[in-house]
């Protein structure tokens, strides 16, 4: 399997397909690079080089007990882009990966052409007086409780319910999609998944303010994980060169449930 080794000795798995301008994908919690397959195949066939890695502690990357935090994830992504000598890259992040992309781009804009934040928690998703639309602290505690309890059962309930909006009236749940989410999640480290929740409590406002390259924010207005009102309007206001694409009724996992809509929109922004 292709891997790079970080400065602290962690092996990071990655996929690297095609040639042309590089597009780098950062996945959400508790998933892997596989969650981007629909987007990678689509953009590969449009003539782009597509790259996605498994975050440390996730999937095929090493399950280490340290560094499961945003600072190390950004350093790992920087190590990947350095070792692959990526320049003029488009970075696309979903959910937790959106925060990773925002933090990376804010620090390494000399390598970046554009960025896309999909269902991202940026700038913050914790409910506070200044962010009343966010998730309450009890919600984050419940996620960590699910990880340390019966993780296998919890990792069925999330995709069966709010992640893909399969709990909504009239929704048609896909067993294959649910099982694929479970497969990816269970391949990773329970410790890394638990630690990830702390990164959802962070505020990424300063990262967004520092970004000067064009950024597309894509969000469904029925996102039950990162509520639309919590992140999206504030993110676009903070970005110097940001634009917003809102999807009526789309869930958090719209990359999978609505790839036929999302993929052409990604291509339009990338090619513009």
As annotated, the active-site residues are 95, 223, 252
Q: How many Cα atoms within 13 Å fall on the side-chain side of residue 201?
A: 14
Which positions ≥6 away from 239 have C-beta within 8 Å?
A: 208, 209, 211, 215, 217
* CA atoms of 224 and 259, how far apart (whole Å): 18
* CA atoms of 151 and 171, how far apart (whole Å): 25
* CA atoms of 187 and 30, how far apart (whole Å): 9
Residues 68/230/123/35 CA torsion (nearest 10 deg): 50
112 bridge partner residues: 89
* CA atoms of 108 and 219, how far apart (whole Å): 24
According to DSSP H, which parts of 169-252 are helical?
Answer: 175-186, 190-199, 205-210, 228-238
* CA atoms of 160 and 260, how far apart (whole Å): 21
Residue 95 CA: distances (Å) to CA of 169, 197, 200, 234: 24, 12, 10, 16
């Amino acid at each position: 399997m292709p891997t790079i080794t970080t400065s602290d000795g962690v092996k990071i798995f990655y996929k690297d397909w095609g040639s042309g301008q590089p597009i780098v994908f950062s996945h959400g919690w508790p998933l892997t690079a596989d969650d981007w397959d629909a987007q990678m195949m689509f953009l590969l066939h449009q003539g782009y080089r597509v790259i996605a890695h498994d975050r440390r502690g996730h999937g095929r990357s090493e399950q280490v007990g340290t560094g499961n935090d945003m600072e190390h994830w950004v350093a790992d992504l920087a190590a990947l882009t350095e070792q692959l000598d990526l320049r003029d890259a488009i970075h696309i992040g979903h959910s937790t990966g959106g925060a990773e992309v925002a933090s990376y781009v804010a620090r390494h804009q000399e390598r970046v052409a554009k960025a896309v934040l999909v269902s991202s928690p940026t700038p913050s998703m914790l409910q506070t007086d200044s962010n009343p639309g966010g998730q309450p602290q009890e919600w984050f505690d419940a996620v960590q409780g699910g990880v340390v309890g019966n993780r296998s059962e919890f990792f069925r309930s999330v995709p069966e319910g709010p992640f893909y909006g399969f709990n909504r009236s009239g929704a048609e749940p896909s067993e294959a999609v649910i099982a694929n989410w479970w497969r990816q999640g269970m391949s990773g480290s329970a410790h890394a998944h638990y630690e990830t929740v702390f990164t959802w409590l962070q505020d990424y406002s300063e990262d967004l303010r520092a970004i000067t390259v064009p950024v597309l924010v894509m969000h469904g207005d029925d996102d039950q994980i990162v509520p639309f009102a919590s992140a999206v309007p504030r993110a676009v206001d903070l970005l110097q060169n940001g634009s917003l694409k809102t999807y009526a009724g789309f869930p958090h996992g719209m990359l999978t449930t609505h790839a036929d809509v999302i993929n052409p929109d990604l291509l339009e922004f990338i090619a513009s």
